[in-house]
Amino acid sequence: MTPGTNHALVLTGAPGAATLDAATMETVRLLLTGREVIRERWLAPGDAWEARLIAEPGADVVPLKHRIAEALAALPIDVNLVPDEGEHRRKHLLVADMESTIIEQECLDELADYIGLRPQIAAITERAMRGELEFEAAIKERVGLLKGLHAGVLDDLYTMRVTLMPGAQTLIATMRANGAYCALVSGGFHFFTEKIAARVGFDSEQANRLDIADGRIAGTIAQPILGREAKLTAMERLTRERGLTPADTLAVGDGANDLSMIAAAGLGVAYRAKPKVAAAAAASVKHGDLTALLYLQGYHWDEFAPAVIPA
């Protein structure tokens, strides 16, 4: 955080859980004693609240966030401190990871479970998500284990197992209704991103492509393989094409291959993420759903657009 700028302290919980009760708010306000609070307001009664702060020149406000987070650590509440940058508070570009972010599953793990290989493939996925394995090597190894599988299993998996993360459609509908461009950029597979992008309402999508031969998974991926740097490159390209600045961008993901775009975005959010990712991100959401990303941008719940459900 740059000293001398405005900040927004944003507290969010799971929608409808009313975790921000009177006792909790009393604790927070006591910890804000001595700070210059220019406004506080409910973004959603009981679920989301913000206080706009002005830091004195040279003051470091990050320890304040940590003190509040420590005080509320036993409660399912996310505590974030974001720049309150006027017109840049609401972002004009969203770049989102898909698996365990926009959808609740890791598709390769679900596919492995479907065919009885979950322990082998999930172990590789976990190491890659923690940053212990290079993404490209990890995805090649996992896909290799699927060689010979009938491609029709992909349709079965999508139909029976893939579910949207709560708040996904509201997030995209609201940002698009306010002029933002929303891109789904995944290290997963185009077979799924194409369907999820249409279902949720993204403007565009990109992902890796499984090689299919004679109706069966070939065990290889079409080149080039899209990983960590491809996500950053996509965000930078979309920023340029739309005449935006990095301050206008929001990136969200949960794994190590999301770190580059999260670090480069005007607002980088770790969503239900691995510890390494949560520690590196400017904001982290563990308890709220994806509408928490709207609250981080200063949206009030009555500004949310209706989720668009494709026919």
Whether 170 is in a domain gets the answer no
Residue 61 lies in a domain: yes
- The CA distance from 194 to 207, in Å, is 9
| Structural domains of the chain, count | 1
CA distances from 196 to 98, 168, 218, 254 (A): 8, 10, 23, 17
Predicted confidence at residue 114, as pLDDT, reads 81
Does residue 32 lie within any of the structural domains? yes
Q: What is the pLDDT of residue 311?
A: 45
Note down the domain range covering 29: 1-84
Q: Which residue has the higher pLDDT, 186 or 132?
A: 186
What's the pLDDT at 57?
61
**Residue 59: predicted pLDDT:** 65
In a domain, 75, yes or no: yes
pTM of the model: 0.92
Q: Give tens-digit pLDDT for 15-59.
A: 999 999 999 999 999 999 988 899 999 999 999 999 999 876 656
Say yes or no to pLDDT of 287 above 90. yes
Note the pLDDT of residue 58.
59
| Peptide bond between residue 224 and the one before it cis (omega within 30 degrees of 0) | yes
pLDDT-derived band at 3, boundaries 50, 70, 90: very low
| Residue 69 placed within a domain | yes
What average pLDDT does range 238-255 have in this prediction? 97
> Which residue from 114, 131, 167 is spatially nearest to 255, judged by alpha carbons?
131
CA–CA distance, 137 with 15 (Å, rounded to integer): 38
Which pLDDT band holds residue 298 (cuts at 50, 70, 90)?
very high
| pLDDT tens, residue by residue, 171-183 | 999 999 999 999 9
209: left (phi over 0), alpha (psi -120 to 50) or beta: beta
CATH number for position 77? 3.30.70.260
Of the candidates 96, 72, 140, 38, the residue with the CA atom closest to the CA atom of residue 261: 96
Report strand pairing: 93-96 vs 77-83: unpaired
Query: Which is more confidently placed, 56 or 297?
Result: 297
The mean pLDDT of 7-16, rounded to a whole number, is: 95
Report yes or no: 310 and 176 within 8 Å, Cβ to Cβ.
Answer: no
Question: Pick the residue with more confidence: 215 or 134?
Answer: 215
153-169 pLDDT tens trace: 999 999 999 999 999 99
Q: Is residue 132 part of a domain?
A: no
Residue 263 lies in a domain: no
Position 66 in a domain: yes
Helices (H), the chain: 22-31, 62-71, 107-114, 118-129, 135-144, 152-161, 168-177, 190-200, 228-241, 259-264, 275-280, 292-296
Res 62: pLDDT = 86
pLDDT at 1 over 70: no
